[in-house]
Amino acid sequence: MPLALLVLALSSFAIGTTEFVIMGLLPDVASDLAVTIPQAGWLVTGYALAVAIGAPIMAISTAHLRRRSALIMLMAFFILGNLLCAIAPGYWVLMIARIVTALCHGAFFGIGSVVAAGLVAEDRKARAVALMFTGLTLANVLGVPLGTAIGQAFGWRAPFWAVTVLGIASITGLMLVLPKHEEVRQGNLRREISALRGTGLWLALLTTVFFSAAMFALFTYIAPLLRDITGVSPHGVTWTLFLIGIGLTIGNLVGGKLADWRLGTTLAGVFAAIALTSAIFSVTSQYFIPAEITLFVWATVAFAAVPALQIAVVRFGKEAPNLVSTINIGAFNTGNALGAWVGGAVLDAGFSLTRVPLAGAAMAVLGLATVTLTFASTRSRARSAGLALAEIPLNLPTATKDCL
């Protein structure tokens, strides 16, 4: 595999870390900036909304650039945003800095995956894309717990300084190892936008939103919940995040195999499992060992949905897979924002932290409903057309499944 793939993996590791690390530091950020925990949670919401809105805008804005130039420009945005996070004197400056950082997120992954596939021979494209996205998985397993530990030891700003250094290393690598001779992209914007028609695609995107909302209603407030309800020490929160990261990785791998087997059944089963484990955690969160076991199972079943969700969106938007994949990243982050807001609304209404997992369970039930609607209508149309859903051709099936 070319060295450029490792640089892309490093970039995705840095981006994934900066998005999620703040969740383990919400109490520290809230205390230092004199805001409430729900207000600190809006820093997660702001980032997610910026990704959701900015992903297609940045993809279209960079359509005239060579991919190498686009990736370097996006990484420059990333470095600037993290630097502002590290030196932010107050809450609103930090919020603006998070938004600036988020602008590069969706477009970088969309363009980067195409670059990764173009670096290798035809029979290795899926593995190349998978290697790039390994950085995102490692961000959850290593980046977030390590960043949380650094933040607890040296202050919540320290992880952003560390990620800024990672960003500088990434942009240097991009400039040195990405191919310099590349044709300017020629996109047909009208054709790609026309591919966004169809109820199935929008139901699939809505399913992605509810998935992320179900996950982040709980995940956003995991640190204060573990500290105040479970009684876990700050050091223990770091190890719990590491345990969750392992569960996310296992679920991601298992989910890809299950999605190959039966897409609709996998999604329905995963949403039901998320609802069940979230509801159980509202009880087990008061006891250390049961809480840790429940969180591991919750993380495993939750991330099993990710490959299936991406496959579903590409399937329904097969005429413009690059655009719909980018929009789906926006849908994930719209759900992140919705989940963070829902969890904060529960706390603002005066309910205990133990009620936050129930909000996540409610979002999962809504996701199960959209899965049912999506695949029921699709099967009906497929029968009338004499086709099974699995027979509908895909443009990027293997690469999409393997990269996630």
Q: What CATH number is associated with residue 256?
A: 1.20.1250.20
Last residue within a domain, chosen from 142, 158, 186: 186
Q: Assess whether 59 and 138 both reside in one domain.
A: yes
Query: H-helix or E-strand containing 305?
Result: helix 305-316
Nearest to 218 by CA among 339, 331, 47: 339
What is the pLDDT, as a whole number, of residue 96? 93
Contact 227, 28 (CB under 8 A): no
What is the pLDDT, as a whole number, of residue 75? 93
pLDDT per residue as tens digits for the range 124-161: 665 666 577 777 777 877 888 888 889 988 999 999 99
pLDDT at 193 exceeding the cut of 50: yes
The total number of structural domains in the chain stands at 2
Q: Is 350 left (phi over 0), alpha (psi -120 to 50) or beta?
A: left
pLDDT per residue as tens digits for the range 298-315: 999 988 887 778 777 767
Read off the pTM.
0.71
Indicate the residue type of 363.
M
CA dist 173 and 167 (Å) reads: 10
Q: Assess whether 214 and 203 both reside in one domain.
A: yes
What is the pLDDT, as a whole number, of residue 72? 93
Question: CB burial class (10 A; 0-12, 13-18, 19+) of residue 346?
Answer: buried
Host domain of residue 261: 189-404
Query: H-helix or E-strand containing 243?
Result: helix 234-261
Q: Assess whether 127 and 222 both reside in one domain.
A: no
pLDDT at 396 exceeding the cut of 80: no
Q: What is the DSSP letter of 156?
A: T
Contacts by residues 257-260 (CB-CB < 8 Å, ≥ 24 positions apart): 258/304, 258/308, 259/307, 259/308, 259/311, 259/401, 260/401
pLDDT at 357 exceeding the cut of 90: yes
